[in-house]
């Protein structure tokens, strides 16, 4: 959480998801089985769901607060 821009934070989450996909693909390539590739496929589906919900939340927060700045959401708790 070193960035204050909400969109960039979402992109950093995507980078983390990509690293997980890379781990599964390397496992699939080293083991020669399809389990890793299948997990990568399911991760893509999870990422598609995540980005759809995340973009809706981003647009909603921007409309409510008029800012992409995470510091504006100081009242978030829990």
Binding mask 33-72 for another protein (x = CB under 8 A): xx--xx-xxx-xxxxxxxxxx-xxxxxx-xxx-xxxxxxx
32 near another protein (CB under 8 A)? yes
Note whether 10 and 51 are within 8 A (CB).
yes
Specify burial of residue 70 (Cβ count, 10 A radius: 0-12, 13-18, 19+): middle
Which residues of this chain interact with another protein, rule CB under 8 A?
A: 1-8, 10-12, 14-15, 18, 21-22, 25-26, 28-30, 32-34, 37-38, 40-42, 44-53, 55-60, 62-64, 66-72
């Amino acid at each position: 959480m070193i960035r204050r821009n909400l969109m960039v934070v979402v992109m950093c989450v995507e980078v983390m998801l990509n690293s997980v996909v890379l781990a599964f693909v390397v496992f699939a390539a080293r083991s020669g089985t399809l389990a890793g590739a299948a997990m990568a496929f399911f991760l893509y589906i999870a990422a598609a769901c995540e980005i759809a919900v995340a973009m809706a939340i981003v647009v909603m927060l921007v409309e409510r607060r008029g800012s992409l700045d995470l510091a504006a959401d100081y009242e978030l708790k829990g």
